[in-house]
Amino acid sequence: MAPGKHYRDVADIIRQAIASGVYPRGSLLPNEDQLAAELDVNRATVNKALNILKSEGLLRVHMGVGTRVHELPPILRDAAVRHSRAHRERGGVRGSLASELDQLGYTLDSDNTIGPGQPPPDVAHVLEVDPDSDSVIVRARRMRAQDVPIQIATSYIPREIADGTPIAERDPGVGGISSRLAELGYAQAEIEENLQVRPPTPDETRFLRMTPDQRVIEIFHIGWTATNRAVKVNVYILPSYQWNLRYRYPVDPA
């Protein structure tokens, strides 16, 4: 065994091997004994290194199969671009995420539940609706790319706006609900996003195939009209290892 080779050094070596394609996305790693022999370290060192990479979301364990490199690299979520009409309607797609995935050559699959519902108190406060009644249309979506779960998203739109429109239907049409809001006279002129990083809930852990020691990014997204009315709240739950977030904005906004 090579003296002084730390488990973090071994994690760096394996991480670089994944980045360079030695271990492609979706492939099974050699078992711990094989890796120990290849890297000239003991198995305990390999085990510690793999645990680091699992916590980063770069690897995940398939029970009875082995340790697999996570299928998808991080996806760029570019807030300065994704809310434009041109982006969310590009190629006839149904919204910003569909456009982002289409550009990467990925297929979006989504389990959707849509209908009237009662908003959480913080959502009701922002939308100025009744928190104790079915005052909003709720669009709850569990989203996958290439059959890999990547996001949980829940949208809340006041029923006085959404009832009787495609917003309340399974397929809201090209561009998604933001385009329908614009057509109804509620175009969003400003976007606000509040982010927090936290452990996943048990339900999020199960769907997103995470471990309790990993973290999600929760984005509380508000769409404001030019008259300063909030017409949409989206709550996004993203595995932190699956997404790169980019924000660009004026230093001195008018």
Per-residue pLDDT tens digits for 176-231: 999 999 999 999 999 999 999 999 999 999 999 999 999 999 999 999 999 999 99
Strand partners for 174: none
Q: What is d(CA 222, CA 231) in angstroms, rounded to the nearest whole number?
A: 8
**What's the mean pLDDT when you consider all of the chain?**
93
| Residue 251 included in any domain | no
Q: Are 136 and 156 in contact (CB under 8 A)?
A: yes
83-123 residue pLDDT tens? 777 877 778 777 788 888 888 889 889 999 999 999 999 99
What CATH number is given to the structural domain containing 56?
1.10.10.10
**Domain around 145:** 75-246
**Is residue 14 domain-shared with residue 95, that is, in the same domain?**
no
Q: What is the pTM of this model?
A: 0.91
Residue 221 in any domain: the answer is yes
Alpha carbons 166 and 170: distance in angstroms, whole number:
8
Residue 253 lies in a domain: no
Whether 94 and 190 map to the same domain: the answer is yes
Q: Last residue of some domain: 50, 69, 88?
A: 69
Domain assignment present for residue 37? The answer is yes
In a domain, 230, yes or no: yes
pLDDT at 254: 63
Indicate left, alpha or beta for 15 from its phi (over 0: left) and psi (-120 to 50: alpha): alpha
Q: Give me the number of domains the chain comprises.
A: 2
pLDDT given for residue 248 in this prediction: 87
CA 96/CA 90 separation, integer angstroms: 9
How far, in Å, CA of 53 to CA of 59, rounded? Answer: 6
Q: Are strands 230-239 and 136-145 parallel, antiparallel or unpaired?
A: unpaired
**Would you say residue 240 has pLDDT above 70?**
yes
Read off the amino acid at residue 62: H
